[in-house]
Structure 1
Amino acid sequence: MFKYFIIWSSFVVPWLSLFFLEKHAVKRFMPVAIFAALLVTVQNELAHTYKWWVVKETFLPQIITYFPFVFGAFLVGTIWIFYFTFGNFKLYLLINLAIDALFAFPLNEWFESLGLYKLVNYTNWEIYLTFTLMAVLIYLYQLWQQEVLKGGPE
């Protein structure tokens, strides 16, 4: 029962947190958050194909992507991180390195112990490195997005 609380909380609580964020910030950073979720969705598809991990518990078992995390904590977390750090790449990278380490090591171990999923052909370090690479890619995407929104050169 506790694991279902964790699953639902990882989806619902992040969305509720957006009520505490300025409306324009949500609109400004939603495109990069959707792009980030798309990247993690592709990673989940690859994980399914190459057996990087096996999802054991979710509220949408028929979907390959680990929906509660990708479209809950990850998507909304991206908005919050960009809200507090965009414009300062060093701070952004430092925050992402810390959060990615927190997820890849202690939280990952805890989620596995709860039986939510099991890493098979993927390691904690690979999670850390892919999330760090994605953080750089999504920052570059947001820089490009800002230029497009300003009506920069085409």
Structure 2
Amino acid sequence: MRNVKILLLLLIVPWLTIPFVGRESLKRFMPAAIFIALVTKIMDSFGEKRKWWKFYHGIFFNSMDFLILGPYMVASIWILKMTYGKFLTYFISNKILHFLFILFGLQFMGRYKIFSLKKLSNFQYWITHMLRALVLYAFQFIKESLQKPRIRLD
């Protein structure tokens, strides 16, 4: 039962910060967050089949879905809001955040039977996170490059 509460908290609490992002930033960065959530889900399924990691059963779906739809999506929006347009700041911030997650978060995830690494080392797992960070930034960059400038008729 404790696991269920933690999974629900992981899903709900990050979304409580979204009003502080702002409506325009949410509209601007939500497509990238959805895209990277889908990429992450595909990578997670692939990694689980290769036994790189193990996800435990959650409520209705596996525990990783709670992480993807909660902290991962919301953190993607926040990191883009705070650092987009400053690639070096974005990249360094991601390196630090992912390092801290591996240092502290993996123990928490294992202790509460959310997920654990199997055939992947911490460093290899960190590399997968950094690759996803590059994909996230690239998606946002391409999206904004393709958007037509809006002409305001005031």
Q: Do both share a fold (TM > 0.5)?
A: yes
Deviations 1:36-60, CA, capped at 9 Å, x for gaps: 1111111111022111122224223
TM-score (norm 2): 0.89
Structure 2: gaps (5+ residues): 150-154
Report whether the alignment pairs 1:18 with 2:13. Answer: no
Q: Work out the CA distance in 2 between the residues paired with 1:86 and 1:51.
A: 34
Q: Point out the more displaced range, 112-121 or 7-16.
A: 112-121
Deviations 1:67-115 (A, max 9, x none): 1001111011100000010010011011101111111221112211222
Moved more, 36-45 or 2-11: 2-11
Q: What is the match of residue 28 of structure 2?
A: 28
- What is the alpha-carbon distance in structure 2 between the residues aligned to residue 118 and residue 135 of structure 1? 21
Letter in 2 for 1:136: L
SS in structure 1 at match of 2:147 = helix
Aligned residues: 149
- The equivalent residue for 1:56 is 56
Unaligned stretches of 5+ in structure 1?
Answer: none
Q: TM-score, normalised by structure 1?
A: 0.89
**1:117 CA drift (Å):** 2.0
Amino acid at match of 2:115: Y
Determine which of 106, 109, 118 is the counterpart of 1:108.
106
| Dislocated runs of 4+, deviation >3 Å | none
Query: Counterpart in 1 of 2:90?
Result: 92
Give 1:6 deviation, angstroms.
Answer: 2.1
Distance 2:19 2:127 in 1: 31
Identity %: 27
RMSD in angstroms over aligned alpha carbons? Answer: 1.6
Cα distance in 1 between the residues matched to 2:93 and 2:2: 29
